[in-house]
Structure 1
Amino acid sequence: MMAQFIEIKMANPDSLLFYRMGDFYELFFEDAEVASRALGITLTKRGKHQGDDIPMCGVPVHAADDYLQKLIALGHRVAVCEQMEDPAEAKKRGAKSVVKRDVIRLVTPGTITEEKLLDPSEANYLMALGRVKGGDADSMALAWIDISTGAFRVAATRPDRLLADILRIDPRELIVPDPAYYDPELKPVFDVVGRTASPQPGNLFDSASAEMRLTRFYGVATLEGFGRFSRAELSAISGAVAYVEKTQKAERPPLGRPERDEEEAALFIDPATRANLELARTLSGNRDGSLLKAIDRTVTGAGSRLLAERLMSPLTDPEAIGARLDAVSFFLGEPSLRDMARGLLKGVPDIARALSRLALNRGGPRDLGALAAGFEAAHGVAEILHGKPVPAEIAAALSGIAALPMEFAAHLDRALAEELPLLKRDGGFIRAGYNEELDEMRALRDQSRRVIAEMERALAEETGIRSLKIRHNNVLGYYIEVTANNAEVMTGSDEAKARFIHRQTMANAMRFTTTELAGLETKIANAADRALQIELGVFDVLLDEAVRAANAIRAASDALAVLDVSAALAQIAEAENYCRPHVDGSLDFHIEGGRHPVVEQALRRQVAEPFVANDCDLSPVEGEKHGAIWLLTGPNMGGKSTFLRQNALIAVMAQMGSFVPAALARIGVVDRLFSRVGASDDLARGRSTFMVEMVETAAILNQAGERALVILDEIGRGTATFDGLSIAWAAVEYLHEQNRCRALFATHFHEMTALSEKLPRLSNVTMRVKEFEGDVVFLHEVGRGAADRSYGVQVARLAGLPHAVVERAREVLHQLEEGETSGKASKLIDDLPLFSVAMKKEAEAPKTPDRLGAELSAINPDDLTPREALEALYRLKQLAAGK
Structure 2
Amino acid sequence: MMAQFLEIKSEYPDALLFYRMGDFYEMFFDDAVSAAEALDIALTKRGKHAGEDIPMCGVPHHAAEGYFLTLIRKGFRVAVCEQLESPAEAKKRGYKAVVKRGVVRLVTPGTLTEDSLLNARQHNYLAAYCGIRDQGALAWVDISTGAFHVMEASRLRLSPELARLAPKELLVISEDEGDFLELGSDLGVAITPLARSAFDSSASENRLKSLLNVSTLDAFGTFSRAELGAMGALVEYIDLTQKGKLPLLQTPVRESAGGTMQIDAATRRNLEITHAMSGGRAGSLLATVDRTVTAGGARLLEKRLSSPSMDLNLLQARHDAVSYLVENLSLRENLRDILRAVPDMDRGLSRIALERGGPRDLAAIRNGLTQAENLTQCLPQDMPGVLAEATNALPGHDELIDLLDNALIAEPPLLARDGGFIAPGYDQDLDEARTLRDEGRSVIAGLQAQYSEITGINALKVKHNNVLGYFIETPATHADKMLSAPLSETFIHRQTTANAVRFTTVALSELETKILNAGSNVLEIEKRLYSTLTSAILDRSDAIYQTTRGLAELDLAAGFADLACFENWARPTLTAGREFDITGGRHPVVEAALRQQGDTPFIANNCQFEASDGAAIWLLTGPNMSGKSTFLRQNALIALLAQAGSFVPATSAKLGLVSQLFSRVGASDDLARGRSTFMVEMVETAAILNQADDRAFVILDEIGRGTATWDGLSIAWATLEYLHETNKCRALFATHYHELTQLADTLQGVDNATVAVKEWEGDVIFLHEVHKGAADRSYGVQVARLAGLPSSVVERARVVLEQLEKSDREGGNTPKALIDDLPLFSAAPPPAPVAVKASPALERLSDIEPDSLSPREALDLIYELKKLNVS
Is this a same-fold pair by TM over 0.5? yes
> Counterpart of 1:478 in 2: which secondary structure?
strand
Q: Which of 705, 720, 736 lines up with 2:693 in the alignment?
A: 705
2:167 alignment partner in structure 1: 171
1:231 alignment partner in structure 2: 225
- Partner letter of residue 25 of structure 1? Y
> Counterpart of 2:393 in 1: which secondary structure?
helix
Counterpart-to-counterpart distance in 1, 2:707 and 2:23:
64
Shift of 1:149: 0.5
Counterpart-to-counterpart distance in 2, 1:466 and 1:757:
118
Counterpart-to-counterpart distance in 2, 1:43 and 1:685:
36
- Is 1:584 aligned with 2:580? no
Shift of 1:858: 6.9
Counterpart-to-counterpart distance in 2, 1:150 and 1:653:
27
1:478 alignment partner in structure 2: 470
Counterpart-to-counterpart distance in 1, 2:493 and 2:218:
74
1:696 alignment partner in structure 2: 684
Q: Which of 339, 343, 346 lines up with 2:337 in the alignment?
A: 343
Deviations 1:474-505 (A, max 9, x none): 22211111122222321232x32221111222
Counterpart-to-counterpart distance in 2, 1:744 and 1:106:
49
1:564 alignment partner in structure 2: 555
**CA contact 2:615–2:723 (8 Å) conserved in 1:** no
**CA contact 1:141–1:157 (8 Å) conserved in 2:** yes
Q: Which of 423, 427, 433 lines up with 1:431 in the alignment?
A: 423
> Counterpart of 1:265 in 2: which secondary structure?
coil
1:149-298 equivalence runs, <5 A = 149-183=145-179, 186=180, 188-194=182-188, 196-298=190-292
Counterpart-to-counterpart distance in 2, 1:860 and 1:349:
55
> Counterpart of 1:770 in 2: which secondary structure?
strand
1:501 alignment partner in structure 2: 492
1:390 alignment partner in structure 2: 383
Q: CA RMSD in A?
A: 2.1
Q: Which of 432, 437, 440 lines up with 1:445 in the alignment?
A: 437
Counterpart-to-counterpart distance in 2, 1:187 and 1:455:
75
Counterpart-to-counterpart distance in 2, 1:74 and 1:191:
13
Shift of 1:676: 0.6
Residues 329 and 463 of structure 1: CA distance in aligned 2, closer, same or farther (over 3 Å) = same
1:456 alignment partner in structure 2: 448
1:447-846 equivalence runs, <5 A = 447-493=439-485, 495-620=486-611, 624-818=612-806, 819-820=809-810, 822-830=812-820, 836-839=824-827, 842=828
Moved more, 700-709 or 370-379: 700-709
1:74-223 equivalence runs, <5 A = 74-133=74-133, 138-183=134-179, 186=180, 188-194=182-188, 196-223=190-217
> % of aligned pairs identical?
55
Deviations 1:112-170 (A, max 9, x none): 1111111101101001111112xxxx311111100000000011111222111101000
Q: Which of 302, 306, 311 lines up with 2:305 in the alignment?
A: 311
- Partner letter of residue 27 of structure 2? L
Counterpart-to-counterpart distance in 2, 1:53 and 1:201:
37
Shift of 1:609: 2.0
- Partner letter of residue 16 of structure 1? L
2:7 alignment partner in structure 1: 7
> Counterpart of 2:666 in 1: which secondary structure?
coil
Shift of 1:861: 15
Deviations 1:267-309 (A, max 9, x none): 0011111111000001221111100000001111111110000
Counterpart-to-counterpart distance in 2, 1:284 and 1:423:
38
**CA contact 1:634–1:748 (8 Å) conserved in 2:** yes
Counterpart-to-counterpart distance in 2, 1:310 and 1:67:
32
Counterpart-to-counterpart distance in 2, 1:626 and 1:584:
17
Counterpart-to-counterpart distance in 1, 2:306 and 2:558:
19
- Partner letter of residue 823 of structure 1? N
Deviations 1:56-104 (A, max 9, x none): 1001111111211211222221000011111122223333322111101
1:59-74 equivalence runs, <5 A = 59-74=59-74
Deviations 1:321-344 (A, max 9, x none): 111111111111111111111111
Shift of 1:859: 10
Q: Which of 370, 388, 409 lines up with 1:417 in the alignment?
A: 409
Shift of 1:594: 0.3
Residues 857 and 326 of structure 1: CA distance in aligned 2, closer, same or farther (over 3 Å) = closer
Deviations 1:510-531 (A, max 9, x none): 2111111111111111112112
Shift of 1:829: 2.8
Residues 855 and 425 of structure 1: CA distance in aligned 2, closer, same or farther (over 3 Å) = farther
Residues 862 and 164 of structure 1: CA distance in aligned 2, closer, same or farther (over 3 Å) = closer
1:328 alignment partner in structure 2: 322
**CA contact 1:618–1:627 (8 Å) conserved in 2:** no
2:294 alignment partner in structure 1: 300
- Partner letter of residue 474 of structure 1? N
- Partner letter of residue 317 of structure 2? A
> Counterpart of 2:394 in 1: which secondary structure?
helix
1:869 alignment partner in structure 2: none
Counterpart-to-counterpart distance in 2, 1:736 and 1:188:
33
Q: Which runs of 5+ in 2 are unaligned?
A: 848-870
1:878 alignment partner in structure 2: none
**CA contact 2:408–2:423 (8 Å) conserved in 1:** yes
Residues 99 and 405 of structure 1: CA distance in aligned 2, closer, same or farther (over 3 Å) = same
Counterpart-to-counterpart distance in 1, 2:499 and 2:821:
128
**CA contact 1:815–1:824 (8 Å) conserved in 2:** no
Counterpart-to-counterpart distance in 2, 1:795 and 1:320:
47
Counterpart-to-counterpart distance in 1, 2:34 and 2:328:
56
**CA contact 2:174–2:195 (8 Å) conserved in 1:** yes
Q: Which of 385, 392, 395 lines up with 1:399 in the alignment?
A: 392
Counterpart-to-counterpart distance in 2, 1:440 and 1:529:
13
- Partner letter of residue 60 of structure 1? P
**CA contact 1:632–1:640 (8 Å) conserved in 2:** yes
Counterpart-to-counterpart distance in 2, 1:161 and 1:755:
33
Shift of 1:250: 2.4
Counterpart-to-counterpart distance in 2, 1:250 and 1:708:
46
Counterpart-to-counterpart distance in 2, 1:177 and 1:193:
19
Aligned residues: 846
2:373 alignment partner in structure 1: 379
Counterpart-to-counterpart distance in 1, 2:721 and 2:814:
31
Counterpart-to-counterpart distance in 2, 1:673 and 1:854:
57
**CA contact 2:664–2:684 (8 Å) conserved in 1:** yes
Counterpart-to-counterpart distance in 2, 1:860 and 1:210:
77
Q: Which runs of 5+ in 1 are unaligned?
A: 864-882
Residues 162 and 849 of structure 1: CA distance in aligned 2, closer, same or farther (over 3 Å) = closer
Counterpart-to-counterpart distance in 2, 1:537 and 1:96:
33
Moved more, 279-288 or 467-476: 467-476
> Counterpart of 2:56 in 1: which secondary structure?
strand
